[in-house]
A and B are shown apart, each in its own frame.
Chain A
Amino acid sequence: MSRAEEEVANQEKKTLGFWIYLMTDCVLFAALFATFAVLRGNTAGGPSGLEIFDLPFVLVETMLLLTSSFTIGMALLGSVRGYHKQTIFWLIATFALGVAFLSMELYEFNMLVAEGNSWQQSGFLSAYFTLVGAHGLHIAVGLLWMAVLLIRLVHFKFRKTDINRLALLGLFWHFLDVVWIFIFTIVYLVGGMA
């Protein structure tokens, strides 16, 4: 194989490998979801989801994350088509939306703890904080990755290697949006039902 063919094969390997990592992350979240589902009623005399979840607040969070999935898609398309300025714009937009999402989530956690509903109160709350927190942790890692890539793309003027890395970040970000759909549905909508 020539060097150029090897490079293409290399990128294919990395894409498949990263996709598989995302599939293993699905199983990771499945275990967390299973735990939440099993412990959902174990409120130990404390509040249930209905009493502590603020659905309109969570709807806004969901819209932020959904929009960020769209903006990163725009960034990905721009990067492979050579539109550098647009790519940077869409990427910064994604970053801002991600930060906004995470801030809202941290605020929500803060409120709960301040009211006395921390993860130490019951099995239900432990499961809630851990499931939603694990997702938030993934978002934080994604934002760190995004920041590093933003700096590199600008500084190294869109090297092919960085464009390839952006494609993988896109997969990661979309995957996190998919997980959030299920958190939104199972934890908040179902958990917040009367």
Chain B
Amino acid sequence: MKPTLSHRHSPAQYVSYVVGFILSIVTTVLAYYLVVNEVWPKEMLIYVVMGIAVVQLVVQLVFFLHLGRGSRWKLLTFWFALLVVLVVVVGSLWIMHNLDYNMMNMSPDQMEQYMVENEGI
């Protein structure tokens, strides 16, 4: 099959992939470098690295997955999925952290041992 003439000489889509690829590598190496060389204290570093990951997510969504072009249903389902992901992850972390705190950060076996030793159960 002969290459379709209309697309043959359009470089735009190739450029999209190359740019996306380069940006992805840059963000990956940047995050790696920051962590391995302990550029900032841990708490701050966690946020920075997560932020870089989100940047790379956007890069890949736009340059590789072409989100935003084409069907609006892809975008809508993406937003709903993102909402559910955030609710599940953030919600679970909040709830479990809360529960762990009230369980004095012990596992059930540890709690049992604590109760036997300290409360005469």
Complex contact flag A–B (Cβ < 8 Å): yes
Measured between alpha carbons, how far is A177 from B64 in the docked complex, in Å?
A: 10
Which residues of chain B come closer than 8 Å to A7, judged between CB atoms?
none
A73 in contact with B64 (CB, 8 Å): yes
B110 to chain A, nearest CB (A): 10
Determine whether B114 belongs to the interface, using a CB cutoff of 8 Å to chain A. Answer: no
A189 in contact with B32 (CB, 8 Å): yes
Measured between alpha carbons, how far is A80 from B53 in the docked complex, in Å?
A: 31
A66 in contact with B2 (CB, 8 Å): no
A77 to chain B, nearest CB (A): 6
B93 in contact with A184 (CB, 8 Å): no
A52 to chain B, nearest CB (A): 16
Which residues of chain A come closer than 8 Å to B102, judged between CB atoms?
none
A193 in contact with B57 (CB, 8 Å): no
Question: What 1/0 mask marks residues of chain A from 64 to 80 whose CB sits below 8 Å from any chain B CB?
Answer: 00110110011001001
Measured between alpha carbons, how far is A181 from B49 in the docked complex, in Å?
A: 11
With contact pairs A16-B71, A55-B36 given, residues A81 and B7 touching in the complex (Cβ less than 8 Å): yes
Determine whether B14 belongs to the interface, using a CB cutoff of 8 Å to chain A. Answer: yes
Q: B93: which of A37, A74, A171, A177 is its contact (CB, 8 Å)?
A: A37
Q: Total A-B pairs in contact (CB under 8 Å)?
A: 123
Measured between alpha carbons, how far is A77 from B81 in the docked complex, in Å?
A: 28
With contact pairs A16-B73, A66-B25, A184-B28 given, residues A37 and B89 touching in the complex (Cβ less than 8 Å): yes
A12 in contact with B71 (CB, 8 Å): yes
Q: Can you give 8 contacting A-B residue pairs, CB < 8 Å?
A: A35-B92, A70-B20, A81-B4, A81-B7, A178-B65, A181-B56, A181-B57, A193-B35
- Using a CB–CB distance below 8 Å, which chain A residues touch chain B? 12, 15-16, 19-20, 23-24, 26-27, 30-31, 33-35, 37-38, 42, 55, 59, 62-63, 66-67, 69-70, 73-74, 77, 80-84, 158, 171, 174-175, 177-178, 181-182, 184-186, 189-190, 192-194
CB-based closest 9 A-B pairs: A82-B3, A23-B81, A73-B17, A185-B53, A30-B85, A34-B92, A70-B21, A174-B64, A38-B96
